[in-house]
């Protein structure tokens, strides 16, 4: 997969997470260790050059037909068990199928043990 497609996918996931947190009025990383978020239809998010997450659209303001067509042309559907992860100004995408092939466990199974309990 090309870097630009990976970046678009990572941005898409970041939007999904950020939009859900925004809709709930919270900051990512401020809530429970793992929680479900709601990405509204025809909304998204992307990262700028500093890694800042920018939200595109809202529950009532959707991406227009031109933007939607461009995203559908160049975007890639994310497979189940895919993670978007930020470290500093860099955003990473982890596809769970790599873990499954290596460890025979899903990303969801692994992620449950990735939070320190202090």
Count up the domains in the chain and report the number: 1
In a domain, 18, yes or no: yes
Q: What global pTM score does this model have?
A: 0.60
pLDDT given at position 80: 85
pLDDT given at position 74: 97
Range of the domain at 10: 3-111
Length in residues, the chain:
118
Run means of pLDDT, 10 residues per run, the chain, 118 residues: 55 51 50 69 88 86 96 92 86 83 83 78
In a domain, 54, yes or no: yes
pLDDT given at position 55: 87
In a domain, 92, yes or no: yes
In a domain, 118, yes or no: no
């Amino acid at each position: 997969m090309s870097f630009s497609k990976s970046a678009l996918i990572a941005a898409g996931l970041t939007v999904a997470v950020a939009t859900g947190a925004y809709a709930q009025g919270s900051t990512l990383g401020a809530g429970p260790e793992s929680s479900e978020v709601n990405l509204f239809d025809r909304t998204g998010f992307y990262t700028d050059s500093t890694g800042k997450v920018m939200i595109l659209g809202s529950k009532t303001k959707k991406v227009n037909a031109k933007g939607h067509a461009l995203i559908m042309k160049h975007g890639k559907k994310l497979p189940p068990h895919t993670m978007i992860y930020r470290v500093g100004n860099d955003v990473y995408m982890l596809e769970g199928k790599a873990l499954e092939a290596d460890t025979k466990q899903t990303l969801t199974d692994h992620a449950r043990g990735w939070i320190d309990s202090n």
